Structure 1
Amino acid sequence: MDSRLLAVLEQITEEEQRLLDGGRDVEKERYISGQEFIVDREKMLHNGEMIAIRPHTRFVDFPLHRHDFIEMMYVCKGSITHIINGEEIVMEAGDLLVLNQHTRHAIRAAGREDIGVNFIILPEFFDAAFGLLERDGVLMDFMVSFLRQSDDNGKYLHFKVAGVLPVQNLIENLLTSLAYRQKDEYKINQISIGLLFLYLQKYTRMLDETQPTQYDDIMTMSVLRYIDQHYKTASLTELAKRINQPLSLLSRFIKAKTGATFKQLLQRKRMQVAATLLEDTKLSVSDISLAVGYENNSFFYRCFRDYYKVSPKEYRTENRK
């Protein structure tokens, strides 16, 4: 790893200095908003971010907790020990651990030379990765679990990939971009996550699989792929015919498994494509509206403002490259 980047990541934080000065416990108010120890995305992400990094806090045992986002830990130096389902998971330098938002884990106190970084990622940031991965496989099954509102069995994947240069390079690129807050690299970071998971798909022999494939996962993936490929003209009725499922049953299934309606999933995809076109092209707003499936410009404007809290014109001005 680049020595300058490592120097940034191993700096003693204010939170760690308090612990070195005699503090004993994790300051929960930094992480949670309620009573249960669920690390809150609102505490970790700011200004509409979908991905950020945070160096793992050393010098204290981190109690049992889970998150309302996807956590991906990378160990830059030393080692870090997690306890998941009563089992010790020892991460060495170069290892990658990915946990869905339903996984509860604790972490043993790390020392000064044990440098880990947490990637804090919203599920929708993985859209590019969904489009790249094979439909069947451990990694795709795992990623579908990101979309479930609840899951009694949390899932995690531990990759021992210290010797896999492409994976290490992609992680370092992501760390560099996010550590220095390079705002114009959102799309690059999203594609980098997709490429990272595409490489990890090749190295599933280097991980500990935690749950078997489920039929529901395959069905959910069929829904997501249909929306991804046909967002301009997609409809729940057409999808039901394609996969030979009753309309009402399919509608309830989508809501139960993803926490969103078909309409909400479709709108999310359309808004993300529209945002990319606003950033990367000179197409007029009306042309973009048509390109993503809206024939009524006024309705597109309302949907866009509801989703991004700014108008298409304002979004283009703020994010133009």
Structure 2
Amino acid sequence: MSEKQNASDTVTVLPPSPYGICFDLKTDRFQLEEATRSGSFDMKYRHYHSTYEIYYLLEGNRYHFIDRNIFFVQPGSLVFIAKNRIHKTSPAEQHFHRRFLIEIEETVMEQWFTEMAGGRLCSLFTDEMSIITLTATQQVFLNAKLDAIKQEAFQKREAFEEMIEYLLREILLFSFRIKSEGNAAHISAKNLIGSETEKIRTVNRVAGYLADHYQESSSLDELASRFFTNKFYLTRIFKQVTGFTIREYLHIQRVQKAQEFLRSSLLPITEIALMVGFENVSYFEKIFRRYCMQSPREYRVSQKAESH
């Protein structure tokens, strides 16, 4: 990598603001962003991606929905999200929150997996419980590293991008050591979702059912009846807790399954659409393009090109 800033790289360091983005750095290897939000904030459609993500909550409480499980995330929590995992956050006890987001490109992160911690660094992202809640002392250490990253981005001294990568690698090793030594504040699925309310249990069950039966065409009435609840209540709590509508979550499940078939088979696109639950191929292509930014045919061609 060049020691000078690439033309495609952008750095934004803004003065503290009550709401919005206060730090943003984009390169061709990673993206960093610190933001403060109030109210309902929704990133449209981009609910899974090929980058590896580290989400650090600084203030406020959030529900974090990953694949089919909901976690109650509190300040000082680090959430590690592997590539292509469905995820989204939504307000919990309060709408205000401040977080630091790290996204690392797939090729970079997978290179680091082989170079660091004897090949075991990937366990941060692949273990079922990919959440670490830091102690107060650990938070002080991590906050200092993030401040150093922001300072490097602001000053733009010689080799500042390489220095930021060094700090990111240090954060990953710091997190891996905490997790492997069991030195994080005790966490479990139960306390991560607060008091394990009936609302959370219902949404967890519904999300699991939809993930397992993505190809079926159950009406909202049938779904509500299966889980002994009112359809209006079900749609409200599912959106509130996961950040997705039921239809949106089902579409994402189907698109991900379609991607698997497009990568691994030569089946016609019309047949794949039917296999994943779409009765109309035109509608399938519309939804696929919404989440993948390309048609099923374009996706298949691009995946074959990458594999050669």
Structure 2 CA distance for partners of 1:253 and 1:275, relative to 1, 3 Å:
same
AA at the equivalent of 1:221: N
For residues 25-64 of structure 1, the C-alpha deviation after alignment (integer angstroms, 9 at most, x for no partner) is: x9524x99x86254689x6598xxxxx75689xxxxx9x9
Q: Which residues of structure 2 form unaligned runs of 5+?
A: 6-10, 44-51, 61-70, 100-105, 114-121, 133-178
Output the CA distance in 1 between the equivalents of 2:124 and 2:250.
22
Output the CA distance in 2 between the equivalents of 1:149 and 1:83.
12
The correspondence for 1:72, drawn from 50, 54, 70, is 54
Output the CA distance in 2 between the equivalents of 1:207 and 1:254.
30
| Aligned equivalent of 1:300 | 284
Query: What's the CA shift for 1:250?
Result: 0.7
Is the Cα contact below 8 Å between 1:227 and 1:266 reproduced in 2?
yes
| Aligned equivalent of 2:212 | 229
SS for the counterpart of 2:228 is coil
Output the CA distance in 2 between the equivalents of 1:196 and 1:222.
21
Output the CA distance in 2 between the equivalents of 1:193 and 1:285.
36
SS for the counterpart of 2:127 is helix
The aligned runs of 1:7-26 (5 Å cut-off) are none
| Aligned equivalent of 1:148 | 90
Matched, 1:214 2:145: no
Structure 2 CA distance for partners of 1:246 and 1:53, relative to 1, 3 Å:
same
The correspondence for 1:243, drawn from 222, 227, 252, is 227
Matched, 1:28 2:10: no
Structure 2 CA distance for partners of 1:238 and 1:315, relative to 1, 3 Å:
same
TM-score (norm 1): 0.48
Identical pairs, percent:
22
| Aligned equivalent of 2:173 | none
Query: What's the CA shift for 1:207?
Result: 3.2
SS for the counterpart of 2:128 is helix
Query: What's the CA shift for 1:148?
Result: 2.3
Is the Cα contact below 8 Å between 2:124 and 2:130 reproduced in 1?
no
For residues 107-140 of structure 1, the C-alpha deviation after alignment (integer angstroms, 9 at most, x for no partner) is: xxxxxxxxxxx99859x9434xxxxxxxxxxxxx
Structure 2 CA distance for partners of 1:65 and 1:285, relative to 1, 3 Å:
same
Query: What's the CA shift for 1:305?
Result: 2.1
The correspondence for 1:314, drawn from 298, 302, 307, is 298
The aligned runs of 1:154-169 (5 Å cut-off) are none
Output the CA distance in 1 between the equivalents of 2:128 and 2:265.
27
TM-score (norm 2): 0.50
Q: Which residues of structure 1 form unaligned runs of 5+?
A: 1-7, 15-25, 47-51, 57-61, 74-81, 87-99, 106-117, 128-142, 157-172, 181-190
Output the CA distance in 2 between the equivalents of 1:65 and 1:303.
31
Output the CA distance in 2 between the equivalents of 1:282 and 1:192.
33
Number of residue-to-residue matches in the alignment? 212
Is the Cα contact below 8 Å between 2:20 and 2:36 reproduced in 1?
yes
Q: CA RMSD in A?
A: 5.2
Is the Cα contact below 8 Å between 1:232 and 1:270 reproduced in 2?
yes
For residues 90-114 of structure 1, the C-alpha deviation after alignment (integer angstroms, 9 at most, x for no partner) is: xxxxxxxxxx997667xxxxxxxxx
Matched, 1:261 2:245: yes
Output the CA distance in 1 between the equivalents of 2:206 and 2:3.
45
